[in-house]
Amino acid sequence: MFNRGWEYVVAVFGVYKTKVSGWVFAIFAIGLTITTAFVVNNPSKYVMLIRWAAILTSAAAIWMVFIAEYDAWRVERNRAKGAEKQLADIEDERPRLKLKEPGAIYIETINQSAPVGGQLYRQTVLFLKLRLVNDPAKPYPTAHARGIRAKIDFRRCSDGTHFLSIDGRWAESDQPSSISPLESKAHLLAADFGIGEERSLDVAYYDKRTSSYYAWNNDNYNYDFFTYPHHLLEGNYFQVDIRIRGEWIDELIKFRFKAHGGTFEIER
């Protein structure tokens, strides 16, 4: 608080110093000098002139204090308005990821097929997903969301235990099984959102064969029928914390769901 007050005093003094050394006081001083030359031989007029010069100079000096305070305030106000405009422009030009309502958190039925025991096994499963859209304030070229990744944390609501943290999988990305085992799959973790573009994030699914619930991401593709033991959701009531990060983006989304009866019950 003291530093801000001192900065204000210094700013006012700087403006005041400029004002009193400006053209107004210079003209006044020249006029006073010339007038003094005409009344120097008249003591009464000379004394009166000096008295009025002192009064007017003091009044002008005091008035200049108010002028300096106003000018200092105006400079700071213009600077603040300029900063606000810059922030508003940045806000308008950046991407903005938001939940795609209604039904941003939803359940989708997916047909799965995978080799089990030398035979192709098929089943229909339920996936728990999250839908996002890039909806910027204005369609500027800078409003594209690039390199967006998701980190998903699972907590058991019964005891608040954090038991699993995984990289999220964008449903629209290529399936890891279509990529050579010798190639890196890290590029699948990031997604770009064009202006108005929507994408879904896989969260969990229900496996009918084992009547179990699993978290879902690219790692599931490395296991028989996608049942990655480390992703097993033990319990029936969970909180999900999803952090979405990328260029100009850092958002946290939370929701809860119950896993029972072969389906998901979503709580917002």
Which of 79-83, 153-157, 257-261, 262-266 is predicted least confidently? 79-83
> At 162, is the pLDDT very low, low, confident or very high (cuts 50, 70, 90)?
very high
Count of CB atoms within 10 A of residue 1's CB?
Answer: 5
Residues 35 and 157 in one domain: no
pLDDT for 214 beyond 80:
yes
Q: Where are the alpha helices (DSSP H) in the chain?
A: 2-20, 23-39, 43-93
pLDDT at 179: 77
69-90 core/surface letters (b: 16 or more CB in 10 A; e: else) = eebbeeeeeeeeeeeeeeeeee
Rounded CA Rg of the chain: 36
pLDDT at 253 over 90: yes
Task: Identify the domain boundary among 93, 111, 129.
Answer: 93
pLDDT tens digits, residue range 30-54?
A: 665 666 666 666 666 656 756 766 6
Residue % of the chain over a pLDDT of 70: 68
The answer to pTM > 0.75 is no
Beta carbons within 8 Å of 209's beta carbon, 6+ residues apart: 121, 123, 225, 227
Identify whether residues 118 and 251 lie together within a single domain.
Answer: yes
Whether residue 196 sits in one domain with residue 161: yes
Q: Which residue has the higher pLDDT, 220 or 121?
A: 220
User: 148 with 184, same domain?
Assistant: yes
Please tell me whether residues 134 and 260 are part of one structural domain: yes
Domain tally, the chain = 2
Mean pLDDT of the chain: 82
Angle at 201 between CA 205 and CA 227, to 5 degrees: 30
Task: Compute the distance between CA of residue 255 and CA of residue 213 in angstroms, rounded to an integer.
Answer: 17
Last residue of one domain, picked from the residues 93, 113, 141: 93
Q: What would the pLDDT profile of 80-132 be if each residue is shown by its tens digit?
A: 777 776 666 666 678 999 999 999 999 999 887 776 666 777 888 899 999 99
Q: Same domain, yes or no, for 37 and 134?
A: no
Residue 77 and residue 120 in one domain? no
- Do 239 and 215 share a structural domain? yes
34: containing domain? 2-93
Where is the domain boundary, 54, 73, 93? Answer: 93
Residues 234 and 131 in one domain: yes
Same domain, 109 and 136: yes
Do 53 and 155 reside in the same domain of the chain? no
Whether 196 and 236 share a structural domain: yes
107 compared with 223, residue with greater pLDDT: 107
Q: Output the pLDDT for position 188.
A: 87
Alpha-carbon gap, residue 266 to 238, rounded angstroms: 10
What's the confidence (pLDDT) of residue 263? 94
